[in-house]
Amino acid sequence: MDGNRAVLYLRLSKEDVDKVNKGDDSASIKNQRLLLTDYALAHEFKIVSVYSDDDESGLYDNRPGFGKMMVDAKLGQFDIIIAKTQSRFSRNMEHIEKYLHRDLPNLGIRFIGVVDGVDTDNEDNKKSRQINGLVNEWYCEDLSKNIRSSFRAKMKNGQFLGSSCPYGYRKDPENHNHLVIDEYAAKVVKRIYRLYLSGYGKAGIGAILSSEGILIPTRYKREVLGERYYNSKALDTTKNWSYQTIHVILNNETYMGHLIQNRVNTLSYKDKKKRRLPREKWIIVKNTHEAIIEPEVFEMVQKLQKTRTRNMGSVEENGIFPGILYCADCKHAMSKKYARRGNGRFTGYVCRTYKTQGKRFCESHSIDTGDLEEAVLCSVKEEAKKILKPEDIDELKKMHVFSEAANDCEMQLDSIRERIKKIEKFKRKTYDNYMENLISKDDYIEYVSGYEKEIEELQRKKHTVQDRCRSEREQDHKYDEWADAFRDYISVTELTRDMVLELIERIEVGSDSSITIYYKFQNPYAE
């Protein structure tokens, strides 16, 4: 080791103005490279690598280029780090102490700031390095406050500052701080509201949209609008509309023409973690853009959600099963039962006929709330677990979830279509041969007649196979509805009123307190 192996560290910060297109080296990055290369050559340092971070803040140490450089430092791949200034290396005082005054010296690595004269080999300028670190951090703090203040002023002025618009809107080409309606997506939003008001549940609406091949918002923004949109909560393989997506759309006040911003903020200018703010701290500006949903319709949906969730009372008062819990024998609804001692709290359910008319007409069919919730939750999770992952394909075949008959139908159709194409080609070739006097007229008529008869027979066969394919696809669609209904509940740990209403048609309680659950979306392959 000769001690003069140097690396260059280049960083363009978010606040620099001499940027070109994102993802490209900027003019500033190029200038840094030239400056540092000249310095290294003038001091006879051997440049072994260059690390670069474009459009990254100096407050954080999770920059890609920086992280790779520190890994290589621990591997002993260089002796010196050269940057334009200490602030290009970091603007965080904690990181200055951690890296420049602890980690790098322990690794035997020297840091040089070309413009500001920082050199960790020189103990005399340690205090100046620390002062520079504080000044740089103060600069970031002041800058953060100014940016936040500017953003809040723009929000209060009704300017949209989000990186991506809510589904149903796009940014106005003439003013990117203003929302305009995306006609296609807006129609989908309106349909979601209509379906919900018609009695469909959120998971059921998602199943309908998925079955029709309507792209989920994430894929629509990427594939249709061409946005570089990333949803941290969705997998790249996600194709189906989820309960949560429908829930968010049904509760987004933006669709009434109002801007709701400042709902989350970072803990501090040095921390990227975000926290959700209480509603009183939100910045709400009304009538900033054209509405997709009328306020009256939006309010109806909000009231309906509360009604479905609470059923004319709180969950604490009525539990989560009113309206769907029945006696297995007399088929009447179950009534609430209360503790005879203490505060008379709600403890479970009992057959209403038994409660009002006595055991001559029906037995008690009593069940405690805790036992009922535990049994239903267990059943829901068991149904959800039947939705297998791609790696369980062998098990899927055993269950016939993906119909082999449907695949056979499609293969038969492809074969028939290919055969028809070939015969059509033979017909054209026969005509060419006739025109070139290679065959007689009688031969031509005979050949064409035979081809047409075969095509006619193939067309009849194709229609028959298509009908069978349609039937198989309908069977598969039943599975899709069932799978979409339960997909969000595989790992659920708590039963809710909303969940029960989405999935369950009715529950019947037997005289031995056993229960029978009738789901809205039955597994079509269950025995």
Which carries the bigger pLDDT value, residue 54 or residue 395?
A: 54
> Residue range 206-212: average pLDDT?
88
> For residue 81, is pLDDT > 90?
yes
The most confident of the ranges 267-276, 302-311, 318-327 is 318-327
Q: Which ranges in 96-182 belong to alpha helices (H)?
A: 104-107, 126-156
Q: Say which DSSP state 157 is in.
A: T
Pick the CATH number of 169-304 from 3.90.1750, 1.20.120, 1.20.1250, 3.30.70: 3.90.1750
Q: Of the ranges 182-191, 252-261, 334-343, 440-449, which one carries the lowest mean pLDDT score?
A: 334-343
Q: Of the ranges 110-119, 152-161, 235-244, 395-404, which one carries the lowest mean pLDDT score?
A: 395-404
Retrieve residue 228's tokens: 């570089």
CA-angle at 125, arms to 122 and 126, nearest 5°: 95
pLDDT above 70: percentage of residues in the chain = 75
Retrieve residue 73's tokens: 């430092």
Which carries the bigger pLDDT value, residue 367 or residue 57?
A: 367
- pTM > 0.75: no
pLDDT tens digits, residue range 112-134? 988 888 888 887 767 776 777 66
Domain borders along the chain are: 5-154, 169-304, 390-489
> For residue 463, is pLDDT > 90?
no
> For residue 516, is pLDDT > 50?
yes
Cβ atoms of 293 and 255 closer than 8 Å:
yes
Q: Which CATH architecture has domain 5-154?
A: 3-Layer(aba) Sandwich (3.40)
Which carries the bigger pLDDT value, residue 476 or residue 323?
A: 323
Pairing of the two strands 504-509 and 367-368 = unpaired
pLDDT tens digits, residue range 311-347? 444 455 557 887 788 999 988 888 888 877 766 677 8
Q: Of the ranges 77-81, 162-166, 225-229, 514-518, which one carries the lowest mean pLDDT score?
A: 225-229
How far is CA 254 from each of CA 148, 150, 220, 257, rounded to the nearest angstrom?
Answer: 22, 22, 19, 5
